[in-house]
Structure 1
């Protein structure tokens, strides 16, 4: 399977007139990922003339190098893992999956979604799509460079949705050896024999487990004291146990001092320990906003390495006609966060009624208030404050409810382990008055689904008692939501267990 994204990108959507006449629009959007597509579509639906500029492929990271291919790879790896696990039932599954078939299947899934975000589909929504690199050359003016030369784009409002790029750490020798990233691993011509992964965040852990299940030997080198450090320590421990049980070697609290070509491919030198030799290296140490080389200095738009500086409604703090959307404004980088930010930017770009709506919606659209999921097995889902964060902020008011899946009938019938952790603030004098939930963590195969039910009531202002008294279908995993909430009000073998919040080193 070969795919040349650069050739594909510049084969479409060039203006038929290659003259020097500027293209004019009410709104110009730079970047056609989730955020840019949302902003452009919203502005167009409200009657604005919209130009969308994309340097690579419409659809962005989520479609080509993020959510879609990674979840497809994880699904394939899970099927292989499940088949091997059937030995306990008397079945015999041997051999290794065909890497070429795996790659082709991932590509098939991408191809299934690609038409929805294609330039042709976007054009049908009344949006003019242009391929090229965009940069501001003067106020309200973009210069777009493409294969045929350059083109000027003028607009009253602009939305910057240029996304993020791989943050390559400053490790001696790293740039002198070939390495994979979450953007390139799906096109690796062969399955890695021994994959060394720098970084134990969500991306590193997901890809490590998937490749291990597909037959690669995998070693994770994590600088932090634990995996997925933004989640609760119990979740990190559960994931560490799961990865090690599947043969993944994990080095925590480990600094990489140097990388060089050696052995079968690459040699990673660790501080205080022997070097690790691998056939392939995956850099999964995070992403950073793509803000440089866009001419933001020309229009006086404030930015730094953390992204475009914007208000809660996504308006630039120093350039009134510029709006930010998605990863480019920094903070948590999720597709669902990008669409929320794209909605705010799209609203703001259409005039004062839209700006009022964006300001009104901005609190609900804060990405840090939206649940996130690490799609390992088990899944790790989180929303709101951790226990340590809550104790640091609210002190003795914090109460925590722990609920283990050993009390969940559906989990027992399916032989699945997991838990829910609910972080709440006590009510007045221990009563339900003023009681509210401020955080939740789930570990389990359906954690990504359960976190929505656990977090929706506090996000919507619904009192916890109403959730605890709401009947749930039996036997379902959704019962975990009610039974955890019941732990705030009563005790019992099948309910969550309440305890005082405890401060930890993660505060």
Structure 2
């Protein structure tokens, strides 16, 4: 077995691992990177990238059906589902070189295409290699959670790791799980011509602000998606092309089944106990992302908490500071944005309205502004939705957006929360006209309506000045 000594061993070449490895090696550290599966991890190969590419295909088909309001004759699109999937794979292939083994070796990273497992506190075995590292960063990500449902072992089903290789269009796709993955895939498929049923055991999009979620769910139902809430799956039966899902709300039949009920941390291969690393469903870390083994850090999905690609990248950048420079650093969560890329989109940063009311009570002010009062939204026929900003003593503590380009618009509010800016910073911004970005400025302006336009004191001052100022 070949012995390797390295400054930092990174286990996992997804967003977090690659972010750390690129930064660390360019700052002079000797970095070894292990990846037993695909470079780029879940996001590039099975998650963010392919899902958005398929969503884009669905949007094109949807636009062809809905041109009448713009004077464009609607047509029924001829959807080649296999070609839509080839578009997905072309997108992955275009982005892949940025995450490739060749690129990282060019940066100076030693890349080993093997899975790793701990043999002691600072040593990992990976294939024919035994690697001793001063510090270890675990960035193994997460995988689809497949619950132990009776009959599932005998029925073919898809997850986000397999559905992008499916080249035959489902006649009727049953989606189990009403969260972001399930809803994004449901809308993409109904727009590409499939019949779609979503089965959710509790509340669809239940982790989001209910008012915002309803904006999205209303549109999804209008597009023909059957969404059944409170439908706990009890059993599945059937065969390829004829699948039945038995739930507490009745039985549902379809041709294909997508399981989208959540994620589980990838810790099974690691032999964490041998390194003294505590874990339950994910690796236990402190605010500094350090595990119970002081030599080892865990970042991204495997550390629990928010399971987003951009969080993994943020974690990777955060642990650069303690590992390379011996300086303290802690990961925050209050400024982390996220988005669901349905149409309309839904985005959030910081506290929701309910969370803010619980935390701040009567000190909270909720500012609101609807899309239907934005000129650009009117021009483009995208008037569904609204923005809400939660403000305490003039400082935003959260923002929720449901509507067109919500994922883009939330970035401004992430900046505000990250830098603890006051609402006046956004109100003072001059946004180009006409843009959806004006929605943020207009909602910020709502903070001053009662203070300026509804204030008797202000009116008295204005009256005095107009009367006496020469």
Fold match, TM over 0.5?
yes
Contact 1:265 1:277 in 2 (8 A): yes
In the other structure, the counterpart of 1:501 is none
CA contact (8 A) 1:42 1:347 kept: no
Aligned mate of 2:24, from 21, 43, 54: 43
Contact kept? 1:87, 1:93, Cα under 8 Å: no
Give, in whole Å, the separation in 2 of the partners of 1:236 and 1:124: 45
Alignment deviations for residues 356-379 of structure 1 (CA, whole Å, 9 cap, x no partner): 3xx1xx2xx434531101000001
In 1: Cα distance, 2:246 partner to 2:279 partner: 35
What is the CA–CA distance in structure 1 between the aligned matches of 2:17 and 2:240, rounded to whole Å?
44
* Larger mean Cα displacement after TM superposition, 111-120 or 91-100: 91-100
Pairwise mapping of residues 7-406 of structure 1 onto structure 2 (< 5 A)? 20-87=1-68, 89-145=71-127, 150-225=128-203, 227-261=204-238, 264-271=241-248, 273-305=249-281, 307-316=282-291, 318-350=292-324, 353-356=325-328, 359=329, 362=330, 365-367=331-333, 369-406=335-372
For structure 2, the residue ranges without an aligned partner over 5 or more in a row are 455-470
How far apart, in 2, do the equivalents of 1:79 and 1:66 lie?
A: 20
CA contact (8 A) 2:155 2:240 kept: no
Cα offset, 1:169, TM superposition = 1.7
Q: Secondary structure at the match of 1:340?
A: helix
Distance 1:186 1:253 in 2: 28
Which consecutive unaligned segments of at least 5 residues does structure 1 have?
1-19, 428-434, 496-507
Deviation at 1:491, TM superposition (A): 5.7
Asked if the contact 1:323/1:349 (under 8 Å) is kept, the reply is: no
**Structure 1: how far apart are the matches of 2:446 and 2:223?**
34
> Number of aligned pairs?
451
Q: Per-residue CA shift, 1:250-301, capped at 9, x if unaligned?
A: 0012111111115942100111x33100111000001011112311100101
Offset at residue 354 of structure 1 (A): 3.9
Rounded Cα–Cα distance in structure 1 between residues aligned with 2:305 and 2:413? 23
Indicate how the Cα distance of structure 1 residues 465 and 277 shifts in structure 2: closer, same or farther if over 3 A, else same: same
Q: State which drifts further: 100-109 or 260-269.
A: 260-269
Q: Is the 8 A contact 1:97 1:215 kept in 2?
A: yes
Does the 8 A contact of 1:385 with 1:440 survive in 2? yes
SS in 1 for 2:319: helix
How far off its partner does 1:87 sit? 4.7
**TM-score normalised to structure 1 length:** 0.86
1:299, 1:169 → 2: CA distance? 29
SS of corresponding position for 2:275 = coil
Deviation at 1:240, TM superposition (A): 1.1
Aligned to 1:479: 438
Q: Give the Cα separation in 1 of the matches to 2:117 and 2:450.
A: 61
TM-score (norm 2): 0.92
Cα distance in 1 for partners of 2:92, 2:5 equals: 33
Q: CA, structure 1 residues 177+328, in 2 after alignment: closer, same or farther (shift >3 Å)?
A: same
8 Å CA contact 1:467, 1:485 repeated in 2: yes
Aligned pairs (5 A) from 1:403-482 = 403-417=369-383, 418-425=385-392, 427=393, 435-482=394-441
Question: Distance between the aligned counterparts of 2:96 and 2:129, measured in 1?
Answer: 27
Separation (CA, whole Å) in 2 of partners of 1:214 and 1:419: 27
Partner in structure 2 of residue 7 of structure 1: none
Q: What secondary structure is seen at the aligned counterpart in 1 of 2:107?
A: coil
2-structure distance, mates of 1:355, 1:458: 24
Once the two structures are TM-superposed, the CA of residue 92 in structure 1 deviates from its matched residue by 4.5
Q: Cα–Cα, structure 1 residues 464 and 34, in superposed 2: closer, same or farther, change >3 Å?
A: same
8 Å CA contact 1:323–1:348 kept in 2: the answer is no
Is the contact made by 2:66 and 2:74 (CA closer than 8 Å) also made in structure 1? Answer: no
CA deviation profile, 1:46-67 (whole Å, cap 9, x unmatched): 2111110100111111111111
Moved over 6 A (4+): none
Q: Deviations over 1:164-210 (max 9, x none)?
A: 01111232122221110111110013011100001010000000000
CA RMSD of superposed structures (Å): 1.8
> The residue matched to 2:82 in structure 1 has which SS?
helix
